[in-house]
Amino acid sequence: MIELLASIWIQRIAFVVGGFVLGGVFESVIIRRARKLAESTRFEWDDLLVGSIRGVATLWFGAGGVYLALSVGDVDPIVVSTTQNVLMVFVLGSVVIATTRLVGGGVEMLSGRAGGAIKSPTLVVNLARIAVGVLGLFIILQNLGIDITALITALGIGGIAIALALQDTLGNLFAGVQIILSRQVRQRDYIQLSSGEEGWVTDVKGRNTTIHTFPDGNLVIVPNSVLASSIIKNFSKPKRALWVTVEVGVSYDSDLDHVEAVALDVAKHVLTEGEGGVADKDPVIRFHTFADSSINFDVRMLVGKFESQGPVQHEFIKRLHRRFGEEGIEIPFPIRTVIMAGGSES
């Protein structure tokens, strides 16, 4: 009798240990090879699928080993039923975890295709994962024989109380959803708020939006409700290229046709040879003001992105100053003539 019991327990332990060992082998051999094979293809969904089941395969095999161990010998029906329920919760829970990974990665992938090579905002990914998690929880409860109707009713009543207590948080949450759905402000857009803050939008979360400032590189955190109600200037829409304007003044004695030709030549060379300029778009020069000591004009050059305007302005001013000196074109100092009553000019 003792030998029989020992044999039964050895078989049970063998099934359990064997299940986890097979799971580990499957994880280290099959999953690893599948991951390498997926990385070698251009199809992205296979990488996502393999990554989503990483770590859960061992649990599935281990649960299978425990289930087989219950079939060895006589086991108390209550123990069998309880253990099976626990296994079901673990297996379904692992399936939910794998599905949340798959859905979250899929949302990021699809949003990257739709809106450029960027990931989806954290808010969208988290909402998708929460939806899958809640659905998986309901499925687990149903399989345990728990009536979820009362739970849903209680959640509805509790949700009203929570909504009243968390008005600001929920306001920011819905404002974040509105920001994402409107697509007027997206990640990697360079924006300027009416309050003066400006920078690249790095992420839209449940409560706030993070902005990476330029050129100091600080992080500005703006509540979603504030961002949704602000006047925003988006330098990245409808296109990322933008015009850079440099104001220049020359002496009244200057030949303006010659000044225009020299300035255009310098601007074209800056756009062609410098970094960040759009070479296939000609610069524009417009004289606009008879100032106190100079005739002022604007030079407008098209750059490919917001951060390129500084280097382009820098290089243009250096080259134009040197070229004006070579051409004998004067950039005058401010001069004002004052005539005093009863006196002479001074």
Find the mean pLDDT for residues 77-91.
81
Q: What confidence score (pLDDT) does residue 117 get?
A: 36
d(CA 295, CA 292): 8
Q: The domain at 185-234 falls in which architecture?
A: Roll (2.30)
Instruction: Give 275-287 pLDDT, tens digit per residue.
Output: 888 888 899 999 9
Q: Determine phi and psi for 284, rounding to 5 degrees.
A: -125, 135
Domain extent listing, the chain: 2-165, 185-234, 242-327
Q: Which of 36-50, 70-84, 250-264, 331-345 has the lowest mean pLDDT?
A: 331-345
Q: What confidence score (pLDDT) does residue 28 get?
A: 80
Could you tell me whether strands 190-193 and 208-212 are parallel, antiparallel, or unpaired per DSSP bridges?
A: unpaired
Q: What confidence score (pLDDT) does residue 246 get?
A: 93
Asked if residue 39 has pLDDT above 90, the reply is no
Q: Which of 50-59, 121-130, 265-274, 280-289 has the lowest mean pLDDT?
A: 121-130
Within this chain, domains 185-234 and 242-327 share the same CATH topology: no
Q: What confidence score (pLDDT) does residue 315 get?
A: 92
Q: Report the top-level CATH class of 242-327.
A: alpha beta
DSSP-derived 3-state class of residue 74? coil
* C-alpha pair distances (Å), 107 with each of 94, 185, 254: 20, 18, 61
d(CA 37, CA 147): 44
Instruction: Give 259-270 pLDDT, tens digit per residue.
Output: 999 999 999 999
Are the C-beta atoms of residues 24 and 31 closer than 8 Å to each other? no
Q: What confidence score (pLDDT) does residue 114 get?
A: 42
Q: Which spans in 27-76 are helix H?
A: 32-39, 45-52, 57-69
Asked if residue 323 has pLDDT above 90, the reply is yes
d(CA 298, CA 245): 6
Asked if residue 164 has pLDDT above 70, the reply is no
**The tokens 């070579």 sit on which residue?**
326
Q: Which of 33-37, 156-160, 244-248 has the lowest mean pLDDT?
A: 156-160
Asked if residue 110 has pLDDT above 80, the reply is no
d(CA 32, CA 327): 69
CB hemisphere CA count around 290 (13 angstroms): 2
